Structure 1
Amino acid sequence: MTIAVFAAHPDDETLGCGATIAKLAATEDVHIVVLGDGITAREASRHDRAAADALYADAEAATTLLGAASVTFERLPDLRFDTLPLLEIVWRVERVLREIRPASVFTHHPGDLNRDHQLTSRAVLTATRPVDGCPVRDLYCFEVPSSTEWGFAGVAPGFTPNVFVDVSETIETKVRAMESYRSERRAFPHPRSPEALRALARYRGSTAGLESAEAFQLMRSIRAEAVAQEEREA
């Protein structure tokens, strides 16, 4: 089974579902697509090509640690997705869907504080609409520490997880992958710190009777009879 992860910025894939990527990559092909550059909205780095290149290199290092099959960078302008027609973002997502035909997709929750996260979620939801030929059966939204919870349910309905993945054996891989992001990692008590990432995983795990978990909101799941038959025969 092929799986796609659509993230707005480098590090979102790790923060949102890094431990799940590491778990799934042991048996499945996981492809990461990063839509935005992640750094050019910062005054100090706006015209710093070396800083952007360093961030991409960090993302590639994180991808290697997580075991994903590939990472692709679309290089949309950081924190300025709303200056683009939504259709342009949808087209980029649709192109990837045609190329790799994933059965499952992970992306941002629409209630995040970050506008790029919101538009990524909307574009992915649009691109994966259940029409003839769409390969996507399951669409999951992840939470991004320092964005999803900081929306305080004031932007859109809050994150309400209903799927929990046991990541007791891969949470430390996620922490190491996040530490690869030299410009994005933070010290405790920031939500991106190693301590906070472990604490969130423990909390989400306790919700489902697990030691550590990553939580997702299942937005859509399609179980056609042909698919159900294939799964029974697998």
Structure 2
Amino acid sequence: MAYQEISKLFIAAHPDDEALGCGGTIARWSDQGVAVHLAFLADGIGSRNPDSDAEHKALEQRHSAAEAAARILGASSVQYDDLPDNQLDTIPLLQITQRVEALIETYRPDTVVTHHAGDLNIDHRRVHQAVMTACRPQLGHPVRTILCFEVASSTEWQPPGSGVPFTPNWFEDISTTLPRKLEALDAYAAEMRDWPHPRSREAVEHLARWRGATVGCEAAEAFFLARHLR
């Protein structure tokens, strides 16, 4: 059954992308009474675990981490598609797009938040392309706003000239929800790295503080506004 209330749909390639890129925004919107739904299209572990038993265990652990992070952030639902990690370029775009279309039909979101087109990670780029294809502006389509988030150790690792640069033009004040963003990242401890890696807890906080400083608040998350219909 399709959701009838106004909702926000976060479509990410892998569990942990949502906490890294927009965990503070998810928590903030949830606190405002918005129904926030999370969807992950790839499993995030397949390419690192060729042994099937180990892969199955790793997948269960990744899902458990995602569920814990979702509870911390206040998400209304979590859905997994478990497409192969780092291999979305081997799957026809139509098939990925159809999965996104099914999510939109289910949740009828007015806002979709997803990856930026210029990320180094191929799965991120394919998810972005699928979302933009599924959200073609047509009469009666529910999505009126599309935001693209940055993911530390992916968005900034794309060299100049090799991809579309991330130039944020939309900011969400996460001054009050930054602690929950960091707590959600603790749930993904297995995916985090030690400082000074950009996917370390310290680096994520530094980025949030810097993004906040650029717009005059304690902490913020930055987005690229792909479309906004008023």
Matched position secondary structure for 2:189: coil
Give the distance between the partners of 2:144 and 2:57, measured in 1 at CA: 39
2:179 to 167, 172, 189: 172
Matched position secondary structure for 2:133: helix
Q: Post-superposition shift, 1:51?
A: 1.1
Compared CA separation, residues 145 and 45, structure 1 to 2 (3 A): farther
Find the counterpart in structure 1 of residue 217 from structure 2: 210
Q: Post-superposition shift, 1:122?
A: 0.3
Give the distance between the partners of 1:19 and 1:79, measured in 2 at CA: 26
Find the counterpart in structure 2 of residue 10 from structure 1: 15
TM-score scaled by length of structure 1:
0.93
CA contact (8 A) 1:111 1:153 kept: no
Matched position secondary structure for 1:214: strand
Q: Post-superposition shift, 1:186?
A: 1.4
Superposition misfits of 4+ residues, deviation over 6 angstroms? none
Amino acid at match of 2:27: A
TM-score scaled by length of structure 2:
0.94
Give the distance between the partners of 1:107 and 1:59, measured in 2 at CA: 16
Give the distance between the partners of 2:130 and 2:25, measured in 1 at CA: 22
Asked if 1:161 is matched to 2:161, the reply is no
Find the counterpart in structure 2 of residue 22 from structure 1: 27
Give the distance between the partners of 1:143 and 1:33, measured in 2 at CA: 17
Amino acid at match of 2:225: L
Structure 1 gap ranges (5+): 224-234
Give the distance between the partners of 1:45 and 1:7, measured in 2 at CA: 25
Matched position secondary structure for 1:151: coil
Asked if 1:83 is matched to 2:90, the reply is yes
Compared CA separation, residues 153 and 109, structure 1 to 2 (3 A): farther
Q: Post-superposition shift, 1:193?
A: 1.3
Q: Post-superposition shift, 1:139?
A: 0.2
Question: RMSD between aligned alpha carbons?
Answer: 1.1
Find the counterpart in structure 2 of residue 31 from structure 1: 37
Q: C-alpha offsets along residues 62-97 of structure 1, whole Å, 9 cap, x if unaligned?
A: 001000000100010000001110000000000010
Give the distance between the partners of 1:192 and 1:213, measured in 2 at CA: 17
Q: Identity over the aligned pairs, expressed in percent?
A: 49
Give the distance between the partners of 1:154 and 1:39, measured in 2 at CA: 29
Find the counterpart in structure 1 of residue 80 from structure 2: 73
Structure 2 gap ranges (5+): 1-5
Compared CA separation, residues 212 and 95, structure 1 to 2 (3 A): same
Matched position secondary structure for 2:185: helix
Give the distance between the partners of 2:49 and 2:97, measured in 1 at CA: 28
Counting only pairs closer than 5 Å after superposition, residues 99-110 of structure 1 correspond to structure 2 as 99-110=106-117
Q: Post-superposition shift, 1:133?
A: 2.1
